Chains A and B, each alone.
Chain A
Amino acid sequence: MKVFQVINAGLFTTVQDLGRYGYLRYGVPISGAMDTFSLTAANLLVANNENDACLETTLVGPKLQTLATTQIAITGGNCSPTVNGQRVAMWQTLTLREGDVVSFGRMESGCRAYLSIQGGINVPLLLGSRSTYVRGGFGGLEGRQLKIGDVIEASDMSLLTVEYSLPIKHVPRFTNQLAAHVVLGPQDNMFTEKGLSTFLSNPYKVTLEADRMGYRLEGSVIEHVLKADIVSDAILPGAIQVPRNGKPIVIMRDAQTTGGYPKIAAVGTADVDLLGQAKPDDVIEFSKVTVKEAQERTREYYKLLKTLRGLLDRKAVNV
């Protein structure tokens, strides 16, 4: 069913779900939402499956014309969304009628917003996911970002009789100062004590070279012991590579699956989502945690998602 026509595509808008898992050994990156929490919430707010495909916007969002009555939710960074020029709330179900124009305004916080559509966006499932991998040219809408004139279809439609909203205390707040918890390694032994302490005690700024593949950071130079090259091995989103120039690179979800720079540390699951909302000039501070502590944080994070599910489910039962 045709739901939207793209009037304006925005800076970089793609179709994403929770990601393409299980194909790293074939060189296929995980892709998927840079902020999976916000995508999950967007889906729950329109009673979708948590893994349904949504639109992911980057800094400047798109302008969409509604082709049929539908329900959506907009989550993620505060993108000042409007419908027919009127500000609408984020983190809640919105009902749209044919002809309504959805627009994204100034990005007040964060970098990426998510727009879910009741039924989920209908694009082919490739290797278990609907996520767009633009560099590989597959997934999502013809393997590319949205362009003017595109038509967005939803898989099936059943309007909810109730509009949900996420309690304000569960809405994440995105700031320009990010605290990321890291587990040192796997190649922390390739850095001097001084290098490790530089990394853990100085702020790093996100440069303009920041996209779905990764972020180059600017800041104090991290000292290697000797070499700054390794025989290429596997990398995952959240890994922090430090090439010869001593400036860290955070690996994100569209990155290649192997790399030849030593990894000083890796950011935990919850903080990878947080970093997914980082934009150029934002400042990241890294602090060291043990594997156990990182996993404890991940468990807390999943608990929050469970709470979310409970809240929205209960409302559905009440209808």
Chain B
Amino acid sequence: MSNELYVSARYLPFGDNALLVEFSDTISLEANLKVTVLSEAVTKAKMRIEELVPTYRSLLIRYDPLKTTYEQLVFQLKDLEKTLDKPSPETKRQKIAIPVVYGGEYGPDLAYVAKHHRLTEQQVVKLHSSREYRVYMIGFVAGFPYLGEVSDEIATPRLETPRLKVPAGSVGIAETQTGIYPCEAPGGWQIIGRTPLVLFNPMQQPPTPLKAGDTVNFEAISEKEFRTIEKQTRTKLSQRNKSE
């Protein structure tokens, strides 16, 4: 990962109803911080827009062409951007702990990742669960958080042949990224473990506990603890569904 920020942000049209503010063409913490800061400033400024989609290095702004124009929005955004020169302190970001049972049937690629780096499985688990990760963005499937960055000591390329089905809750590594599959989906990430937490629930508002800019850390748990948490989560969910 590099820190190649553009000299100034690029404003790019996206069809007749959106625009993109791009800060970099690579993955970098600096660019992602810019995205978060601008996203929050736009929300605070109560601009006439429909929705914001923060991603690794750019912010998509969807607007209604009947309410505003592209030029008007770019003008307002550039004005707003000037006031954000100093990286504002990122306040009130959530910190969320994700319990994970590593290896075995829950993490079928843990052995490969360990072998790839000439480490023991325990060392991989320790390296993965001993740092905090930033939620760079949510995408791919509903509720999938792209987290970064893992230690170079465990960064591993994707599988050569993606799996057709990765179970819900699977925690994976792809290069220096780590992520969690909120529902069963096809995927090529190296799966090293699984969380019993439910990361996407369309009955809830918002549907996922994580958002771009949040901080996540992983906690190694046993299979028994996994089952206990899974049971609790299910009971909670079914109670909530009944009460609705």
B208→A26 contact, CB < 8 A:
yes
Chain B contact residues: over half helix, strand or loop, or mixed?
Answer: loop
How far is B67's CA from A302's CA once the two chains are assembled, in angstroms? 13
Given contacts A233-B20, A236-B18, A302-B66, whether A21 and B50 have CB atoms under 8 Å apart is: yes
- The answer to whether B58 has its CB under 8 Å from any CB of chain A is yes
* B16, B51, B69 — most chain A CB neighbours (10 Å): B16
B211→A186 contact, CB < 8 A:
no
Closest chain B residue to A133, Cβ basis = B142
Contacts of B99 in A (CB 8 A): none
- The answer to whether B155 has its CB under 8 Å from any CB of chain A is no
A186→B202 contact, CB < 8 A:
no
Number of interface residues of B (CB under 8 A): 46
Closest chain B residue to A135, Cβ basis = B141
- The answer to whether B25 has its CB under 8 Å from any CB of chain A is yes
- The answer to whether B138 has its CB under 8 Å from any CB of chain A is yes
B57→A295 contact, CB < 8 A:
no
Within the complex, which residue of A26, A294, A299 is in contact with B207, where a contact is CB–CB below 8 Å?
A26
A269→B183 contact, CB < 8 A:
no
A26→B22 contact, CB < 8 A:
no
Given contacts A137-B183, A256-B139, A294-B15, whether A25 and B20 have CB atoms under 8 Å apart is: no
Query: What are 11 A-B interface contacts by the 8 Å CB criterion?
Result: A26-B200, A26-B206, A26-B207, A183-B15, A186-B12, A232-B146, A233-B22, A236-B60, A256-B140, A268-B16, A299-B66
A236→B138 contact, CB < 8 A:
no
Shortest B237–chain A CB gap in Å is 14
- The answer to whether B239 has its CB under 8 Å from any CB of chain A is no
A27→B65 contact, CB < 8 A:
no
Chain A, 127-147, contact with B by CB distance < 8 Å: what is the 0/1 string?
100000101111100000000
Chain A interface size, under 10 / 10 to 19 / 20 to 34 / 35 or more: 35 or more
- The answer to whether B14 has its CB under 8 Å from any CB of chain A is yes
Given contacts A185-B14, A231-B57, whether A258 and B25 have CB atoms under 8 Å apart is: no
B65→A298 contact, CB < 8 A:
yes
Given contacts A127-B207, A137-B183, A256-B141, whether A234 and B202 have CB atoms under 8 Å apart is: no
How far is B53's CA from A126's CA once the two chains are assembled, in angstroms? 20
Shortest A18–chain B CB gap in Å is 13
A234→B55 contact, CB < 8 A:
yes
Shortest B100–chain A CB gap in Å is 20
Chain A, 224-259, contact with B by CB distance < 8 Å: what is the 0/1 string?
000000111110101100000000000000001110
Chain B, 158-173, contact with A by CB distance < 8 Å: what is the 0/1 string?
0000000000000000
Within the complex, which residue of B27, B57, B138, B202 is in contact with A25, where a contact is CB–CB below 8 Å?
B138
A126→B17 contact, CB < 8 A:
no
How far is B10's CA from A230's CA once the two chains are assembled, in angstroms? 15
How far is B139's CA from A296's CA once the two chains are assembled, in angstroms? 31
A298→B205 contact, CB < 8 A:
no
- The answer to whether A309 has its CB under 8 Å from any CB of chain B is no
Closest chain A residue to B139, Cβ basis = A258
Chain B, 163-192, contact with A by CB distance < 8 Å: what is the 0/1 string?
000000000000000000001000000000
B52→A25 contact, CB < 8 A:
yes
Within the complex, which residue of B62, B144, B200 is in contact with A24, where a contact is CB–CB below 8 Å?
B62
Contacts of B203 in A (CB 8 A): 126
Given contacts A234-B60, A295-B65, A298-B65, whether A27 and B13 have CB atoms under 8 Å apart is: no
Contacts of A126 in B (CB 8 A): 202-203
From 188 to 214 in chain B, residues with beta carbon under 8 angstroms from any chain A beta carbon are 200, 202-203, 205-208, 211-212
* B17, B51, B60, B211 — most chain A CB neighbours (10 Å): B17
A136→B141 contact, CB < 8 A:
yes
- The answer to whether A90 has its CB under 8 Å from any CB of chain B is no
From 1 to 47 in chain B, residues with beta carbon under 8 angstroms from any chain A beta carbon are 12-18, 20, 22, 25-27
B142→A232 contact, CB < 8 A:
no
From 240 to 288 in chain A, residues with beta carbon under 8 angstroms from any chain B beta carbon are 256-258, 263, 266-269
